[in-house]
């Protein structure tokens, strides 16, 4: 009799256009450079292939994780079971018409920001300085320098766990600080429509360069990381609090709370997910003790790491969290 994983693999093999790999090292697919292998990694080039893939995954109840640029994920040391997917090819298309820009879910913010700036369209400049796909940014409601992606969004096209397509307005997303309803109900952003304002092309491009310089001055460079590890609590900064607890420079295994920015953990070379989680727990405990504030992760804890975190910090897992 065929084992479930083999059965799933065989069914995925029948989906046209999918590029399928097994036992694929995930550490090269995230900016932390941490994590073990994916049982199955699929590269999905079209919406039709994505819908069929999601249908098969739903049917098999296999664990599923979508990755964008992997700039906000922590992957377990023993990797991810089930299926990990990445959007490629058809999801990298961009089209502009007057002030409106349609971008596929796998387009990077840096790409559309530069492209639209060069066309004399302004708006995306503040979001161009960190690694992100359009889909990942909408899912996270990513933001920088006072602009969040929801401010520019007209609508997002989303494929749900059942393979059905729906169109979400910013209101449907219920965007808050680094959070959207997609994080509860699931769904894959296959494209997004933005509305920008006319601007001077040269000025927009210069602003991108200026903001990027400023961005990199404030962040540790040279060691892999995922930017902010915790969400800022209301009215304060996680980095400031961790700094005041005297934790900058604290090391565990190959991971370190950056000595440049208290809310960034860096991989010094051979960090394990367990090292990062250990530092996160130490920072959370210290901040709770000193400020009576519970820091919450901004980084997405994938696979069993989320349950591990929830168990350790003695909180019930978020109710109704979706599998996608
Ligand atoms: C140096 C550095 C600086 C950073 N600075 C900032 C900053 O200033 N502001 C900020 O907001 N973030 C920042 N980040 C964090 C990160 O870049 C953002 O969260 C980014 O939006 C994540 O996009 P991604 O494509 O890499 O998603 P991933 O990290 O691959 O995934 C993150 C989550 O999004 C989901 N996801 C990815 N693609 C899709 C999709 N198409 N549809 C639905 N869900 C999807 C994934 O399943 C996962 O749950 C920084 C990161 C780094 C490394």
- What is the Å distance from ligand 1's center to 194 Cα? 18
Residue 163 buriedness (CB in 10 A; 0-12 / 13-18 / 19+): middle
Which ligand 1 atom sits nearest the alpha carbon of residue 131? 17
Q: pTM of the entire structure?
A: 0.95
Residue 77's CATH number? 3.30.43.10
Residues 135 and 117 in one domain: yes
Ligand 1 site residues, Cβ closer than 6 angstroms: 31, 66-73, 87, 105, 130-133, 135-137, 139-140, 142-144, 188-189, 219, 225-227, 300
Residues 97 and 212 in one domain: yes
Which ligand 1 atom sits nearest the alpha carbon of residue 133? 25
Residues 18 and 132 in one domain: no
pLDDT averaged over 10-residue windows placed end to end, the chain, 324 residues: 75 95 97 98 96 92 97 98 97 96 98 97 96 97 96 97 92 96 96 98 96 86 95 97 98 97 97 98 97 96 95 62 53
Q: Which of 56, 90, 124 lies at the terminal end of a domain, its last residue?
A: 90
pLDDT value of residue 316: 42
Tell me how many degrees the CA angle 156-158-159 measures, rounded to the nearest 5. Answer: 165
Residues 82 and 147 in one domain: no
Total structural domains in the chain? 3
If you take atom 49 of ligand 1, which residue's CA is the nearest one?
Answer: 300
Q: Examine residue 229 and state whether it is found in any structural domain, yes or no.
A: no
Q: Examine residue 177 and state whether it is found in any structural domain, yes or no.
A: yes
Say whether 315 is catalytic. Answer: no
- What is the Å distance from ligand 1's center to 183 Cα? 12
Residues 301 and 214 in one domain: no
Q: Which of 218, 249, 265 lies at the terminal end of a domain, its last residue?
A: 218
Which ligand 1 atom sits nearest the alpha carbon of residue 149? 11
Quick one: which of 245, 239, 237 has its CA closest to 219? 239
DSSP-derived 3-state class of residue 173 = helix
Residue 301 buriedness (CB in 10 A; 0-12 / 13-18 / 19+): buried
Residues 103 and 211 in one domain: yes
Say whether 298 is catalytic. Answer: yes
Residues 43 and 107 in one domain: no
Residues 97 and 209 in one domain: yes
Residues 86 and 97 in one domain: no
**By residue range, what is the domain housing residue 32?**
4-90
Helix (H), strand (E) at residue 213: helix 201-218
Say whether 178 is catalytic. Answer: yes
Residues 118 and 63 in one domain: no
Residues 81 and 168 in one domain: no
pLDDT value of residue 276: 98
Out of 86, 114, 178, 284, which one is annotated catalytic? Answer: 178
pLDDT value of residue 320: 46
């Amino acid at each position: 009799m065929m084992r479930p994983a083999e059965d799933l693999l065989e069914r995925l093999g029948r989906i046209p256009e999918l590029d399928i790999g097994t036992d694929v090292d995930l550490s090269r697919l995230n900016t932390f450079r941490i994590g073990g292998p994916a049982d199955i990694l699929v590269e999905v080039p079209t919406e039709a292939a994505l819908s069929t893939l999601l249908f098969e995954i739903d049917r098999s109840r296999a664990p599923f994780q979508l990755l964008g640029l992997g700039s906000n994920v922590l992957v377990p040391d023993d990797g991810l079971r089930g299926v990990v997917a990445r959007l490629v090819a058809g999801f990298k298309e961009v089209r502009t018409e007057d002030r409106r820009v349609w971008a596929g879910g796998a387009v990077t913010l840096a790409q559309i920001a530069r492209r639209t700036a060069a066309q004399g369209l302004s708006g995306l400049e503040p979001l161009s300085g960190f690694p992100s796909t359009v889909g990942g940014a909408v899912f996270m409601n990513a933001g920088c320098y006072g602009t969040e992606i929801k401010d520019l969004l007209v609508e997002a096209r989303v494929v749900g766990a059942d393979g059905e397509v729906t169109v979400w307005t910013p209101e449907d997303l219920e965007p808050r600080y680094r959070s959207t309803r997609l994080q509860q109900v699931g769904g894959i952003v296959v494209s997004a429509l933005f509305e920008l304002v006319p601007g001077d092309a040269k000025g927009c491009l210069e602003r991108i360069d200026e903001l990027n310089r400023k961005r990199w001055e404030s962040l540790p460079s040279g060691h892999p990381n995922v930017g902010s590890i915790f969400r800022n609590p209301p009215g304060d900064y996680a980095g400031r609090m961790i700094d005041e607890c005297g934790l900058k420079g604290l090391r565990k295994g190959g991971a370190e709370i950056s000595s440049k920015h208290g809310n960034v953990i860096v991989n010094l070379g051979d960090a394990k997910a367990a090292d990062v989680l250990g530092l996160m727990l130490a920072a959370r405990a210290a901040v709770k003790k000193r400020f009576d504030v519970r820091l919450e992760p901004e980084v997405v804890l994938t696979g069993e790491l989320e349950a591990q975190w929830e168990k350790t910090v003695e909180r019930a897992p978020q109710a109704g969290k979706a599998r996608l």
